């Protein structure tokens, strides 16, 4: 069998990349291109990590992925991104796709996946932002309860009792936990949560806009608002503007994510910040450990959040 690999290949490591020069019997080939299918088949690995995200247009997840990517790249791994557009069916089929077709390991930000979906997946999996019930795998989570609790405490400290909260979809893990933290913090402050101040919807700008209008135009509107992700925060700010409600004179607010914009605004907006860079690092490290054959037991890492105080909350 005449093999291509019969050729004599000099491999120079140069920085992060690899330059391969091939000498054939008759000719010097400088433009040799490895067939990655063959290599992957032979090695039974593709040096590729699959990333499964709910949707692409979300600054939180894409920024984390960006971090993960940077670190993995330094170790010779590439990153493939799939999104499932918040569809349970797509979520499962893309998981299958990444697993069977491509990836040596997975980073998954699940919504509806269950342990069953991972039954025949014998590859390292790291859950990002959300765990999967009954499925023991490495995971990097955020202290969601603490996040919203700190927002509530900040507002309570300014005398607010009627605090509205804009939430994402009910079924999402982070949404439930952020809401739980909100309730706990209110109760701890001796305030009974008013269910009419709790609104759910999609995690997008339009929803933030709609829910804010709904809340502020109700009979008994809140004196303060918490938005629980960046898009909701943006929609909230736009809607308050339209309603001629000034921050913080007419309404106090706490936003979520995106320090740059929050501190560019006048007055600075108080925001809950998730440690995006560190989350990415933790994910990458867990992944690399597993890929390098670590056989430790499952690890769960919970990252703290931090409330950056601006001037978007005012004493009532």
Partner DNA sequence: CTGTTAGCGCATTCAA
Partner DNA sequence: TTGAATGCGCTAACAG
Chosen residue from 9, 85, 88, 298 binding a second copy by CB under 8 A: 85
CB of 102 to DNA, least distance (A): 15
Chosen residue from 188, 218, 241, 309 binding a second copy by CB under 8 A: 241
Chosen residue from 3, 28, 89, 119 binding DNA by CB under 7 A: 3
C-alpha span between 310 and 271 (Å, rounded):
8
Block residue for tokens 């933790």 = 282
The interface with DNA within residues 116-175 (CB under 7 A) comprises none
Question: Is 4 a residue that touches DNA (CB under 7 A)?
Answer: yes
Report which of 76, 87, 132, 74 is spatially closest to residue 108, judged by C-alpha positions.
Answer: 132
The CA distances from residue 63 to 26, 76, 200, in Å, are: 49, 20, 24
* Pick 9 or 85: Cβ nearer a second copy: 85
Block residue for tokens 């439930």 = 176
Question: Which one of a second copy, DNA, none is in contact with 3 (Cβ closer than 5 to 8 A by kind)?
Answer: DNA
Judge contact between 88 and 112, C-beta under 8 A: yes
* Pick 50 or 146: Cβ nearer a second copy: 50
Chosen residue from 13, 17, 28, 33 binding DNA by CB under 7 A: 33
CB of 20 to DNA, least distance (A): 8
C-alpha span between 33 and 111 (Å, rounded):
40
C-alpha span between 5 and 314 (Å, rounded):
71
User: What is the number of alpha carbons within 13 Å of residue 69 lying toward its C-beta?
Assistant: 11
* Pick 38 or 316: Cβ nearer DNA: 38
For residue 248, the SS3 value is coil
For residue 158, the SS3 value is coil
Instruction: Pick left, alpha or beta for residue 85 (phi over 0 → left; psi -120 to 50 → alpha; otherwise beta).
Output: left
C-alpha span between 139 and 130 (Å, rounded):
8
CB of 40 to DNA, least distance (A): 9
Of the listed pieces 3-11, 75-83, 154-162, 164-172, which binds a second copy according to CB under 8 A? Answer: 75-83
Number of residues forming the site for a second copy (CB under 8 A): 52
Question: Is 9 a residue that touches DNA (CB under 7 A)?
Answer: yes
Cis peptide before 248 (omega within 30 of 0): yes
Question: Is 40 a residue that touches a second copy (CB under 8 A)?
Answer: yes
Chosen residue from 180, 189, 265, 303 binding a second copy by CB under 8 A: 265
Q: Which tokens sit at 49?
A: 């990590």
Question: Is 176 a residue that touches a second copy (CB under 8 A)?
Answer: no
Q: Cβ neighbours of residue 37 under 8 Å, at least 6 residues apart?
A: none
* Pick 130 or 258: Cβ nearer a second copy: 258
Chosen residue from 49, 52, 65, 272 binding a second copy by CB under 8 A: 65
Judge contact between 51 and 110, C-beta under 8 A: no
Question: Is 10 a residue that touches DNA (CB under 7 A)?
Answer: no
Question: Is 130 a residue that touches a second copy (CB under 8 A)?
Answer: no
Report which of 282, 284, 294 is spatially closest to residue 76, judged by C-alpha positions.
Answer: 284
Q: Which residues bind DNA (CB under 7 A)?
A: 1-6, 8-9, 33-35, 38-39, 41-44
Q: Which residues bind a second copy (CB under 8 A)?
A: 17, 31, 33-38, 40-41, 44, 46, 48, 55-59, 62-63, 65-66, 78-83, 85, 93, 97, 100-102, 120, 205-206, 209-210, 234-235, 237-238, 240-242, 258, 260-261, 264-266
């Amino acid at each position: 069998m005449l093999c291509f690999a019969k050729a004599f290949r000099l491999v120079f490591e140069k920085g992060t990349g690899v330059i391969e020069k091939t000498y054939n019997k008759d000719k010097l080939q400088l433009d040799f291109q490895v067939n990655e299918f063959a290599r992957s088949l032979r090695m039974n690995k593709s040096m590729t990590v699959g990333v499964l995200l709910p949707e692409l247009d979300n600054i939180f997840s894409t920024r984390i992925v960006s971090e993960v990517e940077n670190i993995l790249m330094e170790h010779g791994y590439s990153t493939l991104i799939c999104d499932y557009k918040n569809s349970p069916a797509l979520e499962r089929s893309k998981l299958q796709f990444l697993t069977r077709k491509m990836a040596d390991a997975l980073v998954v930000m699940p919504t509806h996946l269950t342990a069953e979906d991972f039954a025949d997946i014998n590859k390292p999996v790291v859950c990002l932002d959300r765990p999967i019930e009954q499925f023991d795998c490495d995971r990097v989570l955020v202290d969601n309860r603490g996040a919203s609790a700190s927002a509530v405490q900040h507002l309570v400290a300014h005398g607010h009792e009627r605090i509205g909260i804009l939430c994402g979809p009910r079924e999402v893990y982070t949404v439930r936990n952020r809401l739980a933290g909100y309730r706990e913090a209110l109760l701890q402050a001796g305030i009974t949560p008013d269910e009419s101040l709790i609104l759910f919807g999609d995690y997008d700008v339009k929803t933030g806009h709609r829910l804010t209008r709904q809340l502020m135009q109700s009979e008994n509107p809140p004196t303060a608002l918490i938005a629980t992700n960046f898009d909701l925060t943006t929609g909230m700010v736009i809607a308050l503007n339209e309603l001629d409600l000034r921050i913080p004179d007419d309404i106090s607010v706490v936003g979520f994510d995106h320090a740059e914009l929050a501190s560019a605004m006048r007055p600075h907006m108080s925001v809950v910040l998730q440690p995006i860079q560190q989350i990415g690092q933790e994910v990458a490290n867990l992944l690399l450990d597993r890929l390098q054959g670590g056989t430790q037991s499952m690890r769960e890492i919970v990252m703290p959040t931090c409330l950056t105080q601006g001037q978007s909350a005012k004493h009532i």
